[in-house]
Structure 1
Amino acid sequence: MRYAAAPVGDLRWRAPIEPRPSAISWEPALRFQPVCLGNAVPPPYPGEDEDCLFVSVWTPSSATVNSKLPVWVFIQGGGYVFNSNANWDGAEVVEKSGHNIVMVNFNYRVGVWGFLASERLRKDGDLNAGLLDQRRLLLWVKQYISKFGGDPNHVVIHGASAGAGSVALHLSAYGGRDDGLFVGAISESLFFPAQPYVAELEWQFDRIAQSAGCIAAYGNDTAMSCLRGKDMATLQALNIAAAFPGRTAPPNPLFYWTPCIDGDLIQDLPYVMFETGRFLKMPVMFGTDTDEGSSFASNAASPDDISAFFQDNYPYLTSNDTQSILSHYPKITPPLPFHAAWFPTNSLAYGEATFICPSLNLLKHITAALTPPSQSSSSSSSRVFAYRYNVRDAVNLAAGLGTPHIFEAAAVFGPRNLPPADVSASYFTYNAPIVPVVMGYWISFVRALDPSVYRAAGAPVWECWDGNGEGGQRLKIETGDTCMEGVGDGEAERCVFWEGLGRRMRQRRKG
């Protein structure tokens, strides 16, 4: 279904609006609609289109407008450059909930279509269009989900990777303004790339506008109207990465298009918003995988390779910064299969810098804000839950990947509900027992804002994150050995280090 008008023509790079009545019609819900155009996707754009703002809903067949079922809204990831987790089937989680939830997923603009930034765009458009699409979807849910049996006053948002980063940005949106759009949040592998200020992205806009012929021919003042007049193929050919200023290509950064600090929806760097308490205080569930960096880190053969990789992706890091990174991350031995000698170190450092430590650091700030001074931070009233996913898979281990980024997805939704290429065969064999455990926790949080209330039979109680000091208590999810664990001192200390680098990584103002 359309949740917003097609973002084409004059609606490019503008906040989404209600679909026009002429675009609404009765259609059988038998197939998914196109996802949004991703970075460097060439013609004929299979399954992708500029007209992509569609939502899918799974609901019990017995649901009525009076059912008031909890609503699970999934925000897919893809590094803000792809719709990477689109159209995952929500039927099984609805069934396994006892037909007690409504499941929603949707598309949002990414790449140049969703995150082009400039003051020229701000004057004739809207910054962070991809995030505004997400916000529009939440408004659509608030308005219409009762028609599917959902409770508009009990919506839980859940994001994976960039979707988890989006969850953090919605918690702190508009300075933590409560628009009544959701009551709980799940962050699965929180993704914090560099998220620059608008002024730092003018070069990116110039590259697009000049390549499209929209500055030389028309001048800066009319560049936006020129870009809106270009056909989709012309602009999609420019939806590619390039080296950040001061770096050389190749290699290009992993994530070229990202949200920017616009001063309104995103009022400041993400860490700052949570440090200063400008976010919604509500139950949350944050977690990451043990080896978050293994799918992304360059195959470093030397310390210099690690320094170059970090500066390619976080261009404001200095040589002193990268030397400091190396002092915190000595060489890990033995080497991993199919990888160079310094890859394990690079993988650990990038995984902690970009996923694990942002999650742990935000948990620290969230717990501090939720816990009254007179109350223990381990009290269940804080309703903050953390996890580390450590399910081991023989194929991943043989490839030197460990437990990689969002490997839990197949257990969350059920392995038959993701594309076969995204699912390890072990979820149908020796890791099959972990699926009901994980699915039960996620469904329980959606229903009760607590992962233990409706957990699977035999699954341990998931205790609250205690947040004492820099560490805390989290659930280690592992086949045959799911239990609570503490965050080790070394990991906690490294997360303090990364938070200190937050300014130059465009995650945090101080430092």
Structure 2
Amino acid sequence: MSFTGYLISLVVLLGVVNQVTPAPLSPSSFDGQPVVDLEYSQYQGIRLSSGVNQHLGMRYAAPPLGDLRFRAPADPLETSGVKNATSFQAICLATDTELPSTTQSEDCLFVNVWGPASATPKSKLPVWVFITGGGYTANSNANYNGSTVVADSGQSIVMVNFGYRVGSYGFLASEKVRENGDLNVGLLDQRMALKWVQKHIEQFGGDPSHVVIHGDSAGAGSVALHLTAYGGRDDGLFVGGIGESVFFPAQPQVCELEWQFSRYVNDTGCAGSPDELMCLRSKDLTVLQEANIATPFPGRTAAPLFYWTPTIDGEFIQDYPYRLIEQGKFVKVPIIFGDDTNEGTYFATNASTPADVASFFQDNYPHLTSTDTDAINAQYPLMAPLPEHAAYFPSAAAAYGETTFTCVGNYIAQKFATMHNPYKVWNYRVNILQPEDVTAGLGVPHVSEMPAIFGLGNANDDVSLSYSNVNAEIIPVVMDYFISFIRDLSPNRYKFASAPHWESFGDGNDGGRRLKLQTNATGMEKIPQDQVKRCEFWRGLALTMEQ
């Protein structure tokens, strides 16, 4: 499956109802249903039969429209009456999405909350904030259903997720944007959501002093960026972090993205305008969306997988993330970081030759030289074949998976262990074998464990696949490790009764320890020395690759 197809399939499965402006309700219509007063608005949710209160589609910021395009999020507008919070709202507009869309919108800064029906503002329950992935080009999983994890925690946590701007709307970069707008507004949306949690989560029974942030893929990359934000400044927004398949694409300096901005304003008809940002803000959404696409880096022939990515703005992102982590410029909190066995199979080109592998890497990391790609091919020679793929696909997939995901997470774990606390860092490898993925030549692909974390049917998953049968037994094991970390900042205290003790990463001198998550075979293992050496190789290229 191509990366684009993977994202589209996730987005299509969301099935969100595009109710951008919830209608006021009459007072009599919310008898017996939970209503929260957030000062700027009142929202009525639903009390589920599981004993969970569900509030969906609440605004945490003003609609980022018109003059608010390409700017940091603004406070939500005050409203009168009680608003309906019983349906998911639109997710943020993805690249390549055709308009009109019934599930996606530019007006998309909504938050969802699940909490125990018995909770009060004095309950002070731990809070789980999930940040969706999607390669910074889509909200692939913004509207996961958090009711099951709240119920299965014994009504002991509050769950939050939300949407944030992506693509050109979230990551347009230029000095002109800096002068008349804001850089990295997708990340600033996330920060706004975290501040919203601090201000309002008590109304749902949550404890603002015990918030754990968790993300998958670009959401995990976002977790890493919040850990290093403002040079590692601790703003008291969270006390722990979970990164599933943490994602580091090229994250260039602003000056390296001026060509991208020029292409965008040219395609929208704004090139040469006295104020190009004002022109962009005045354009109809359909015009912007036609330009919200990926094109090749200068001098390259194929577009990168990830075109709109965070940029080093000198404030929120003060340097390349690898360098910030190396320098210890991160918030010192307990963490879980991990990955899947075959991270790269969703993304890699179906390479037939080493030259195909080299071209693929230079398309995605344009500063790599031919000497660099020769070294990459030497690290990943011809490997055992995978079904449905060409000869060098396994090599391309292994290389891309390790440099973009696996080695990033391992490095973060190592640095947190050596510069913070080796007993407050946990690492894992998902090896949950799904027959349909194995048959397709994907192995155990990127973030395929999501149903095991959130429960069957809650993660845009096909309930007919393996988590409903051969892999059903792994769901409570994985879910309870995550719930335990949310509650106790350790995966062990509230783990599933028969699950093994999850040992910490250790000092990392031997490469580190990790938990292999696999149905009926979960247990500890050491990170293999050959992978440790390959990750050292990638660290040597990290700055060249702008990671």
TM-score range, shorter chain: over 0.9
State the 1:303 CA deviation: 0.5
Query: Pick from 203, 213, 232: which aligns with 1:147?
Result: 203
* Aligned mates of 1:273, 1:424 — CA distance in 2: 43
Residue from 261, 270, 293 that aligns with 2:312: 261
Q: Does 1:44 align with 2:100?
A: yes
Q: Give the distance between the partners of 2:130 and 2:110, measured in 1 at CA.
A: 13
CA distance in 2, matches of 1:232, 1:396: 37
Q: Do the aligned partners of 1:120 and 1:224 also contact (CA within 8 Å) in 2?
A: yes
Are the structure 2 counterparts of residues 198 and 25 from structure 1 closer, same or farther at C-alpha, using a change threshold of 3 Å? farther
Match of 2:542 among 495, 502, 510: 502
CA shift, 1:90, in A, is: 0.3
Distance, in Å, in 2 between the alignment partners of 1:169 and 1:110 is 15
Map of 1:157 onto structure 2: 213
For 1:291-347, what per-residue CA distance to the aligned partner results, in whole angstroms no more than 9, with x for missing partners? 0001000100110110010011111111110000011111102x1110001111111
Secondary structure at 2:83 match in 1: coil
Asked if the contact 2:513–2:526 (Cα under 8 Å) also holds between the matched residues in 1, the reply is yes
Q: Does structure 1 residue 223 correspond to structure 2 residue 273?
A: no
Amino acid at match of 1:20: L
Residues 466-481 of structure 1 aligned to structure 2 (within 5 Å) = 466-469=506-509, 471-481=511-521
Given that 1:467 and 1:473 are in contact with CA atoms closer than 8 Å, whether structure 2 keeps it comes out as no
Where does residue 404 of structure 1 map in the other structure?
A: 445
- Corresponding position of 2:526: 486
- Which one of the candidate residues 473, 476, 480 is aligned to 1:433? 473
Query: Matches of 2:433 and 2:342 in 1, distance apart?
Result: 11
Partner of 1:276: 327
Deviations 1:259-284 (A, max 9, x none): 00000000000011111011000100
Residue 21 (structure 1) aligned with residue 61 (structure 2) = no
Do residues 415 (structure 1) and 465 (structure 2) align? no
Q: 2:492 — aligned with what?
A: 452
2:49 aligns to what? none
Instruction: Choose which of 190, 202, 207 in structure 1 pairs with 2:258.
Output: 202
Corresponding residue for residue 293 of structure 1: 344
Residue 245 of structure 1, CA deviation? 0.9
Q: Does 1:343 align with 2:383?
A: no
Give the whole-Å Cα distance in 2 for the aligned partners of 1:461 and 1:157.
Answer: 23
Which residue of the partner structure matches residue 420 of structure 2?
370
**1:133-178 Cα deviation digits (max 9, x unpaired):** 0000000000000000000000000000000000000000001111
The amino acid of 2:62's aligned partner reads A
Q: Pick from 358, 365, 376 the counterpart of residue 307 of structure 1.
A: 358
Query: Which 10-residue stretch deviates more, 74-83 or 41-50?
Result: 41-50
* CA distance, structure 2, for counterparts of residue 9 and residue 100 of structure 1: 41
**Inter-partner Cα distance in structure 2 for 1:239 and 1:506:** 22
Match in the other structure for 2:185: 129
Counterpart-to-counterpart distance in 1, 2:264 and 2:295: 11
> Hey, which bits of structure 1, 4+ residues long, moved more than 4 A?
none
| 1:236 maps to 2:299 | no
Distance, in Å, in 2 between the alignment partners of 1:305 and 1:462 is 40
Out of 411, 432, 437, the position equivalent to 1:361 is 411
State the distance in 2 between where 1:138 and 1:470 align. Answer: 36
The one-character-per-residue Cα deviations of 1:36-68 (angstroms, maximum 9, x if unpaired) are: 000110111230111000000001111100000
Q: Structure 1: which amino acid aligns with 2:445?
A: P
Q: Give the alignment's TM-score, normalised by structure 1.
A: 0.95
**Candidates 483, 492, 505, aligned match of 1:465:** 505
Shift of 1:26: 2.0
Of stretches 467-476 and 146-155 in structure 1, the one that deviates more from structure 2 is 467-476
For residues 359 and 46 of structure 1, what CA distance do their matches in structure 2 show? 36
Give the distance between the partners of 2:286 and 2:436, measured in 1 at CA. 39
Indicate the RMSD between aligned Cα atoms, in angstroms: 1.0
Q: Is the 8 A contact 1:186 1:284 kept in 2?
A: yes
Q: Once the 2 structures are TM-superposed, how far is the Cα of residue 29 of structure 1 from its aligned partner?
A: 2.2
Whether the 8 Å contact between 1:71 and 1:151 is mirrored in structure 2 is yes
Aligned residues: 490
2:418 touches 2:508 (CA, 8 Å); kept in 1? no
> Among residues 53, 60, 63, which one is paired with 2:119 in the alignment?
63
% same residue: 56
Give the structure 1 partner of residue 436 of structure 2: 395
Cα deviation, 1:66-92, whole Å, max 9, x if unaligned, reads 000000000000000000012110000
Return the alpha-carbon distance in structure 2 between the equivalents of residues 8 and 169 of structure 1: 25
Change (3 A) 1:181 1:351: same
Deviation of 1:225 (Å)? 0.8
Structure 1 residues 307 and 470: CA distance shift in structure 2, 3 A: farther
Instruction: Give the CA deviation at 1:424.
Output: 6.3
Secondary structure of the corresponding residue to residue 333 of structure 2: coil
Kindly indicate whether the alpha-carbon contact (under 8 Å) linking 2:451 and 2:461 is maintained by their aligned counterparts in 1: no
Alpha-carbon separation, structure 2, partners of 1:458 and 1:288: 23
Question: Is the Cα contact below 8 Å between 2:417 and 2:508 reproduced in 1?
Answer: no
Distance in 1, matches of 2:508 and 2:478, equals 26
Distance (Å, rounded) in 2 between the aligned partners of 1:228 and 1:92: 41
392-401 vs 107-116, greater mean Cα deviation: 392-401
Letter in 1 for 2:411: N
Pick from 466, 478, 482 the counterpart of residue 442 of structure 1.
482
Q: Which amino acid aligns with 1:401?
A: L
Question: Residue type of the partner of 2:288?
Answer: L
Q: 1:329 aligns with which of 377, 380, 386?
A: 380
Q: Which moved more, 1:177-186 or 1:38-47?
A: 38-47
Q: How far is the alpha carbon of 1:467 from its aligned partner? A: 3.4
TM-score, normalised via structure 2 length: 0.88
Check 1:13–1:46 CA distance in 2 against 1; reply closer, same or farther (3 A cut). Answer: same
Query: Structure 2: which amino acid aligns with 1:122?
Result: R
Structure 2 distance, partners of 1:45, 1:25, is: 28
By how many angstroms is 1:215 displaced? 2.1
- Counterpart-to-counterpart distance in 2, 1:395 and 1:135: 37
Contact kept? 1:470, 1:493, Cα under 8 Å: no
| Separation (CA, whole Å) in 2 of partners of 1:468 and 1:499 | 15
- Could you tell me how far 1:25 is from its partner in structure 2? 5.0
DSSP 3-state at the match of 1:21:
coil
Question: Which residue is equivalent to 1:318?
Answer: 369
Contact 2:141 2:460 in 1 (8 A): no
Partner of 1:374: none
AA matched with 1:393 = Q
